[in-house]
Amino acid sequence: MIVTIGGIAAHELADTFGTPLYAFDGDRIRQRVRALQSAVPGHRPKLFYSIKAHPSVAILRLLSDLGVGGDACSPGDLAYAARAGLHGDEITYAAVSFPTGDRDALIDTGGFLIADAPAQLTMYAQRTEHRRDVGLRVSPSITAGFHPLVQAGARGSKFGVAPSAVRSVVCKARQLGLRVTCLHVHLGSDVASPMSHVAALELVLKLATVDAPDVSIIDLGGGWPVPFATFDAGNHYPPASPSDSYLLAEMGEQVRTRLDRFRAATGRPIKLRFEPGAYLVMDAGFLITRVTDLKRPETGFDSPRPMAIIDSSYSHLFSAVIHNTFHEALVDGSSGRPLVHQDVGGHLMQAGDILARDRLLPALEVGDVIVFVKAGAYKASQASVFNGRPRPAEVLVDRGVARLVRRRETVADLVRFEAHGDAVPEDSRLGD
């Protein structure tokens, strides 16, 4: 099997850029953008890529060329957006914490605030240069998302204001000289059924009818699941199959009906916004690793199966451990080898650092390139340097060309921020 990413073999990428390496397929990202932009007949949702999924200036630029803005949640996200040339209406901002420094960073970009709580409105209004229009995040009490840790819309979650409080928060905004023009609801990641998004839409449209009469924008957040796909020998993915539980077309039709009904009843057209993260980049991103060692039962390894050790770990595939996500492992250039049940272990000094367990893979050898799929969202962004292992480089493969878009961290980077000896500035001490 030759594993290709955007038409380039994984082993070529590994040889040229080194491993471990995140590689992204630009065309796959574009396909996803088009699918979501055209999902609702008669409406064109404005997409804001959720930067937290994978902050990358290169990907933000690629998306910006397609009319996609950025959904930020921190000054760091805003810095990525600014580097990619986004500002003003191309930025939307929703955060659970909003200290003055974060507020100032947002106002400097001209981005659009989605307030998570009334206190954020007060804080926002204290600076005079702010925009007048703001959004408000609603807590829908809808349980959706693939794991309890990501079910942001469930009852009792820390985000947003209760539907019953919307009217009073809208009044408070008015008193502060602000206008709530957008209601926002984000359910969670990997929402299984379109009807969950539709239920969220119905809730905010109801609120917009009476409690929030200035609303002209509904932002349904993110959570569009990555279509189920298997991989053929050329590592080509079929398009979303009818067996996918989440049908975009069904969501689109149901959303269209509700928006049109709302317009007929109120005379108010609604602009729709989505904030996809994983849907755009999850399976456009791959983690390319190399086998560095082999452990075999016949040479004293206390296991019924051989284990290949790679130069990467769960630090680079974070959710595999914390959310138990499954990542298919593809072995590049392994045609003709017998298939053997094997494990793949990471290089961390931690027993649980196993990236593939009891998988039927071609008999692995030192030097083999193993590619983990669905590594594009919430992996690099949550990667750590645990055990003194610098974070991988990133490449974007686009239109047949692979380009380094983030350099590999080095060991020197790891110690760069140590404040020690002569390097300690005068104002970094207390009590001398």
CB nearer ligand PLP, residue 112 or residue 224: 224
Minimum gap (Å) between residue 2 Cβ and ligand PLP = 30
Q: Which residue, among 305, 311, 307, 306, has the nearest Cα to 291 in the 3D structure?
A: 311
Minimum gap (Å) between residue 364 Cβ and ligand PLP = 32
Q: Among the candidate windows 61-69, 116-124, 269-277, 317-325, which touches ligand PLP by CB under 6 A?
A: 269-277
d(CA 211, CA 92) in angstroms, rounded, equals 23
d(CA 91, CA 94) in angstroms, rounded, equals 10
x/- letters, 40..69, toward ligand PLP (CB under 6 A): ----------x-xx----------------
Q: Judged by CB under 6 A, does residue 223 bind ligand PLP?
A: yes
Q: Which residue, among 164, 165, 159, has the nearest Cα to 184 in the 3D structure?
A: 159
CB nearer ligand PLP, residue 5 or residue 144: 144
Q: Judged by CB under 6 A, does residue 153 bind ligand PLP?
A: no
Residues in region 346-375 near ligand PLP by CB under 6 A = none
In the chain, the amino acid numbered 277 is G
CB nearer ligand PLP, residue 255 or residue 402: 255
Greatest CA separation for the chain: 76
Joined together, the tokens standing for residue 207 give 């609120």
Q: Judged by CB under 6 A, does residue 221 bind ligand PLP?
A: yes
Q: Regarding beta strands 91-94 and 69-72, do their DSSP bridges make them parallel or antiparallel, or are they unpaired?
A: parallel
Residue from 94, 215, 240, 393 binding ligand PLP (CB under 6 A): 94
Q: Among the candidate windows 76-84, 273-281, 285-293, 387-395, which touches ligand PLP by CB under 6 A?
A: 273-281
CB nearer ligand PLP, residue 157 or residue 312: 157
Secondary structure letter of residue 161 according to DSSP: B
In the chain, the amino acid numbered 374 is K
The 3-state DSSP class for residue 34 equals: helix
Secondary structure letter of residue 68 according to DSSP: -
CB nearer ligand PLP, residue 144 or residue 355: 144
Q: Judged by CB under 6 A, does residue 276 bind ligand PLP?
A: yes
Binding residue count for ligand PLP, defined by CB under 6 A: 18
Q: Torsion-angle region of residue 132: left (phi > 0), alpha (psi -120 to 50) or beta? A: alpha
Burial class (CB in 10 A: 0-12, 13-18, 19+), 283: buried
CB nearer ligand PLP, residue 29 or residue 364: 29
Q: Judged by CB under 6 A, does residue 186 bind ligand PLP?
A: yes
x/- letters, 283..312, toward ligand PLP (CB under 6 A): ------------------------------
Minimum gap (Å) between residue 360 Cβ and ligand PLP = 30
Minimum gap (Å) between residue 231 Cβ and ligand PLP = 22
d(CA 316, CA 312) in angstroms, rounded, equals 7
Q: How many CB atoms lie within 10 A of CB 381?
A: 17
The answer to whether residues 379 and 286 touch, using CB atoms and an 8 Å cutoff, is: no
Joined together, the tokens standing for residue 367 give 């030097």
DSSP string, 268-331: ---EEEE--SHHHHGGGEEEEEEEEEEE-GGGT-SSSS-EEEES--GGGSTHHHHT-----EEE
Minimum gap (Å) between residue 71 Cβ and ligand PLP = 5
The answer to whether residues 64 and 87 touch, using CB atoms and an 8 Å cutoff, is: no
Q: Judged by CB under 6 A, does residue 81 bind ligand PLP?
A: no
Secondary structure letter of residue 217 according to DSSP: E
Minimum gap (Å) between residue 77 Cβ and ligand PLP = 11
The three state secondary structure string of 242-283 is: CCCCCCHHHHHHHHHHHHHHHHHHHCCCCEEEECCCHHHHHH
Residue from 70, 160, 222, 346 binding ligand PLP (CB under 6 A): 222
Minimum gap (Å) between residue 350 Cβ and ligand PLP = 26
Q: Judged by CB under 6 A, does residue 189 bind ligand PLP?
A: yes
Q: Judged by CB under 6 A, does residue 325 bind ligand PLP?
A: no
Q: Among the candidate windows 201-209, 219-227, 345-353, 406-414, which touches ligand PLP by CB under 6 A?
A: 219-227
Residue from 77, 90, 275, 343 binding ligand PLP (CB under 6 A): 275
In the complex, the residues that contact ligand PLP under the rule CB under 6 A are 50, 52-53, 71, 94, 152, 186, 189, 221-224, 275-279, 377
